[in-house]
């Protein structure tokens, strides 16, 4: 049972988040700000004709691959952002996350959650496609399969630049297939890219347990009723593991008054308990 006060508070948070996500979408597409020297910690492709910032994942692959230098500057920015916000930037600023949220709002009856093991996929993409293969082949391999790049650069550039059309081949077909797959999945399940594929989410997830801004549960108020789990896009029971690596800080769990967004220097490592398969409510019908 959700009280009216909590519901109105939740509505305010939802509106604030929608505004913040729209701001993120606009901010990452203001080409004339010329901030491509700054890797902004959300998934935004720098090959997009309107891109404001550098893509942190593309820049990382370039640095350790073809660039041949250790990316102190970039890793410092990721560390700084992670310490302050953890994965909250995913839930509140990431333009691709926002697009997936909008797709999930398409009202269809057959909504489902991806199984819990899918969330390990992002670590695999980070290790293999962002770190190992670019070092080995001196090529940004993740960019070749990245659906964000396909949407922000792969679609607009061949329209804007006719000479590119002759260069489209199997790689383009592969990228387009991945994007279409993610788009279709996002209609039926919340944030499939963030859950199973995003290497930036994998990097930032390590900071969820000790970030300045974080989701916490008031122990004395929590009745462990799993009310928070139903609207959670990642299918988490946040009281079982505060600071879970998959939590994107979207505050959909604010249906429960025991959950709060806390700001301040952390004084302990949050959570740490592993969620069992039953605790990750993959089988509960997600809320529209």
Partner 1 sequence: MRKSLFRSLWFILLVIALSIVVFGAKRGEWKKIKTNAEYICTSCIGLGK
In angstroms, the CA 138 to CA 183 distance is 30
Q: Is 174 in the site for partner 1 (CB under 8 A)?
A: yes
* Cβ-based nearer residue to partner 1, 9 or 157: 157
Q: Is 171 in the site for partner 1 (CB under 8 A)?
A: yes
Selection from 262, 251, 174 nearest residue 214 by Cα: 262
Among 51, 236, 237, 253, binds partner 1 (CB under 8 A): 51
Query: Are the beta carbons of 130 and 61 closer than 8 angstroms?
Result: yes
If you compute the radius of gyration of the chain from its CA atoms, what whole number of angstroms results?
A: 19
CB 220 to partner 1: min, Å: 18
Tokens of 114: 């991806």
* Cβ-based nearer residue to partner 1, 145 or 187: 145
Q: Is 36 in the site for partner 1 (CB under 8 A)?
A: yes
Helix (H) or strand (E) segment spanning residue 260: strand 259-263
Q: Is 80 in the site for partner 1 (CB under 8 A)?
A: yes
Query: Are the beta carbons of 120 and 246 closer than 8 angstroms?
Result: no
Block residue for tokens 């004395």: 220
CB 183 to partner 1: min, Å: 16
Q: Is 268 in the site for partner 1 (CB under 8 A)?
A: yes
Among 150, 189, 205, 234, binds partner 1 (CB under 8 A): 150
Helix (H) or strand (E) segment spanning residue 172: helix 170-188
Q: Is 73 in the site for partner 1 (CB under 8 A)?
A: yes
- Neighbour-count burial of 120, counting CB atoms closer than 10 A to its CB (0-12 exposed, 13-18 middle, 19+ buried): exposed
Among 112, 123, 172, 206, binds partner 1 (CB under 8 A): 172
Helix (H) or strand (E) segment spanning residue 125: none
Q: Which stretch binds partner 1 (CB under 8 A): 2-10, 70-78, 91-99, 187-195?
A: 70-78
Residues within the interface to partner 1 (CB under 8 A): 36-39, 45-47, 51, 53-55, 58-59, 62-63, 67, 69, 71-77, 79-80, 83-84, 139-141, 143-144, 146, 149-150, 152-154, 157-158, 164, 167-172, 174-176, 210, 265-269
């Amino acid at each position: 049972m959700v009280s009216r006060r909590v519901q109105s508070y939740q509505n305010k948070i939802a509106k604030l988040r929608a505004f913040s996500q729209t701001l993120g979408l606009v901010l990452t597409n203001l080409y004339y700000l010329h901030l491509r020297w700054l890797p902004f910690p959300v998934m935004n492709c720098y090959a997009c004709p309107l891109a404001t910032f550098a893509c942190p994942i593309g820049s990382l692959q370039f640095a350790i691959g073809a660039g041949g230098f250790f990316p102190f500057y970039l890793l410092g920015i990721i560390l700084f952002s992670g310490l302050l916000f953890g994965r909250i930037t995913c839930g509140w600023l990431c333009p691709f996350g926002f697009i997936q949220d909008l797709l999930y709002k398409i009202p269809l009856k057959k909504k489902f959650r991806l199984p819990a093991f899918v969330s390990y996929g992002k670590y695999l993409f980070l290790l293999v496609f962002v770190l190992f293969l670019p070092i080995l082949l001196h090529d940004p391999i993740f960019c070749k399969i990245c659906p964000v790049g396909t949407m922000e650069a792969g679609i607009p550039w061949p329209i804007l630049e006719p000479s590119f059309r002759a260069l489209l081949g199997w790689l383009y077909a592969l990228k387009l297939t991945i994007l279409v797959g993610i788009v279709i999945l996002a209609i039926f399940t919340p944030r499939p890219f963030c859950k199973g594929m995003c290497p930036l989410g994998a990097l930032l997830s390590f900071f969820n347990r000790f970030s300045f801004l974080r989701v916490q549960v008031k122990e004395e108020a929590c009745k462990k009723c799993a009310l928070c789990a139903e609207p959670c896009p990642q299918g988490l029971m946040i009281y079982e593991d505060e600071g879970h690596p998959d939590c994107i800080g979207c505050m959909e769990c604010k249906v429960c008054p025991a959950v709060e967004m806390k700001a301040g220097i952390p004084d302990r490592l949050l959570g740490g308990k592993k969620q069992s398969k039953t605790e990750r409510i993959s089988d509960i019908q997600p809320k529209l």
